[in-house]
Amino acid sequence: SITLKYGAQYIGKRQDAEMKKFRANRLGQFIHWGLYSIPGGEWNGTTYLGAAEWLANFAKIPNATWDSLQYQFNPNKFNAVQWAKMAKASGFKYVTITTKHHEGFCLWPSEFTEFDIENTPYKKDLLKEFVDAYTEAGIDVYFYYSILDWHHKDWRYDIKNQADSLAFSKYFEFAKNQLLELQQKYPEVKGFWFDGTWDASWKKNGKYSYDIQKALKEVNPNVIVNSRLRADDFGSRHFDSNGNLMGDYQSGYERYLPAKNDTLITKIDWEACMTIPVNQWGYHKDWSLSHVKSANEILELIVKTVSLGGNFLLNYGPKGDGTFRNEELEISNSIGNWMSKYADKVIYYGDYANLKPQDWGYYVKNTNSGKFYGVVFNLPLSKLLKIELPNGKKLKVVNFETEKLEYHHHDKMGYFISLPENTPNEPFIFEILME
Ligand SMILES: COc1ccc([C@H]2[C@H](O)[C@H](O)[C@H](C)N2C)cc1
């Protein structure tokens, strides 16, 4: 292997309590909220199709114009306790909120910039209200922080000369100071979700990304940091030049999942983040412009993720006034109903079952109870659920709610479980007992 100064700090899954809690949580709420939430993808009468939090970029809006949105940011309908209550009812065990997205606007009163919540009509420490409400609700809090910063004068996309290098070192100091400030002001924070780390300037400075993780861990030894922060000595991201995962979990799955038969991914901790429309993280006024995922589509993505040993972060983009759009409220309600019935069995503590994938859905092993479950999304016309067990394993009992399901064994093709009489018209689970 190659000797690296800024590569992976350790190999394998962390087994400390904080990481075990992150893993057991499985389901998180992502929140993208910033100045971009005010225009909602529309500027000077033109609606842009791209992701609303990138509007300044698509619409080529000068910084001075965009930054003046700061004087309009006044979420007078924001109710952190209500947000936390909805999140809890939806089954979210953790939340990740944008403290600063690419635009550079900070949702907390930062000592290191004027471009923050303090200098808006809202004035108050919005992030503290948020952290307190979610913590009170028993939901773990994580902070999203963008390294890419369109506002900061010392940000550089690339390092072409000594001047760039000096400026970028000042930007690094700014970012590190802000991150330590976030840990100090909001000590409840469990970890950081870094973004905006694809530019050459960052890839050329593996030391910077290494130092940020080190600095955060000095304050909180079990802080959880995503792989997206990291570039190694040679600019390799997420995985170092020896193929070892950097950070504490792989966060490359942005709006897509690994293949159902990908067993490699089950060897590391990972988290997928997902939008409800095709590609909108920040609030966009018009969701009719793309497909919007149904509750069942989202439930399948969540269960597929857990079945492969990953966490799932579902995104919400609240409006500038602090309210959520109806589509998000409806999804929350539907998902919450399903989670109230099944999450304790197949989401929380859910993990890879190491059983041969089948067409009808996904297997989940509950690492708390040790129980194995099937989650059915695709009803077979044969009315038979096929199960293939590893050699030496025999199927004993299949429980569906309070009944035991019939099954027969075919010496070469495996077991075939008969569907229950009254099959639910929603994704349902059955428990598998083997011997
Ligand atoms: C260029 O492609 C991109 C760049 C940034 C993103 C950002 C989104 O704004 C959102 O914050 C997502 C989590 N992040 C990867 C997505 C796609």
pLDDT at residue number 377: 98
pLDDT at residue number 277: 98
196 CA: nearest ligand 1 atom? 5
Crossing angle, helix 206-219 and helix 162-185, to 10 degrees? Answer: 20
What distance in Å separates the CA atoms of residue 9 and residue 216, rounded to the nearest whole number?
14
pLDDT at residue number 146: 99
Whether 199 is in the pocket of ligand 1, judged by its Cβ within 6 Å, is no
Mean pLDDT of 257-281: 98
Distance 45 CA to ligand 1 centre (A): 24
Whether 97 is in the pocket of ligand 1, judged by its Cβ within 6 Å, is no
Quickly count: other Cβ atoms within 10 Å of residue 12's Cβ.
Answer: 11
* pLDDT band (50, 70, 90) for residue 141: very high
CA 182, chain centre distance (Å): 19
pLDDT at residue number 307: 98
CA 219, chain centre distance (Å): 23
Distance 144 CA to ligand 1 centre (A): 12
pLDDT above 70 coverage of the chain, percent? 100
What distance in Å separates the CA atoms of residue 370 and residue 339, rounded to the nearest whole number?
19
Contact (CB, 8 A) for 191 and 154:
no
User: Per residue in 339-348, pLDDT tens?
Assistant: 999 999 999 9
54 CA: nearest ligand 1 atom? 9
> C-alpha distances in angstroms, 132 versus 81, 129, 141, 219?
9, 5, 9, 20
273 CA: nearest ligand 1 atom? 13
Whether 254 is in the pocket of ligand 1, judged by its Cβ within 6 Å, is yes
282 CA: nearest ligand 1 atom? 9
DSSP code at position 411: T
pLDDT at residue number 160: 98
User: Per residue in 290-335, pLDDT tens?
Assistant: 999 999 999 999 999 999 999 999 999 999 999 999 999 999 999 9
* Residues in Cβ contact with 326 at an 8 Å cutoff, skipping those fewer than 6 apart: none
What distance in Å separates the CA atoms of residue 331 and residue 310, rounded to the nearest whole number?
21
What distance in Å separates the CA atoms of residue 41 and residue 86, rounded to the nearest whole number?
25
Atom 16 (ligand 1) nearest CA? 254
Handedness of CA 52, 54, 60, 64 (dihedral sign): positive
What distance in Å separates the CA atoms of residue 198 and residue 206, rounded to the nearest whole number?
12
Residue 251 token pair? 């966060």
Q: CA-based angle 219:221:225, to the nearest 5? A: 95
User: Tokens 């994580």 appear where?
Assistant: 142
User: Per residue in 49-68, pLDDT tens?
Assistant: 999 999 999 999 999 999 99
What distance in Å separates the CA atoms of residue 164 and residue 156, rounded to the nearest whole number?
7
Whether 118 is in the pocket of ligand 1, judged by its Cβ within 6 Å, is no
Distance 396 CA to ligand 1 centre (A): 47
pLDDT at residue number 187: 98
pLDDT at residue number 348: 99
Distance 419 CA to ligand 1 centre (A): 42
Distance 27 CA to ligand 1 centre (A): 20
pLDDT at residue number 53: 98
Atom 9 (ligand 1) nearest CA? 53
* pLDDT band (50, 70, 90) for residue 354: very high
pLDDT at residue number 293: 98
Whether 273 is in the pocket of ligand 1, judged by its Cβ within 6 Å, is yes
Whether 30 is in the pocket of ligand 1, judged by its Cβ within 6 Å, is no
Quickly count: other Cβ atoms within 10 Å of residue 332's Cβ.
Answer: 21
Beta bridge partners of 418: 384
* Residues in Cβ contact with 1 at an 8 Å cutoff, skipping those fewer than 6 apart: 242
User: Per residue in 202-227, pLDDT tens?
Assistant: 999 999 999 999 999 999 999 999 99
Ligand 1 pocket test target in 195, 275, 280 with most atoms within 8 Å of CB? 195
Whether 195 is in the pocket of ligand 1, judged by its Cβ within 6 Å, is yes
Query: Is residue 95 exposed (0-12), middle (13-18) or buried (19+ Cβ within 10 Å)?
Result: buried
Helices marked H in 228-325 = 295-307
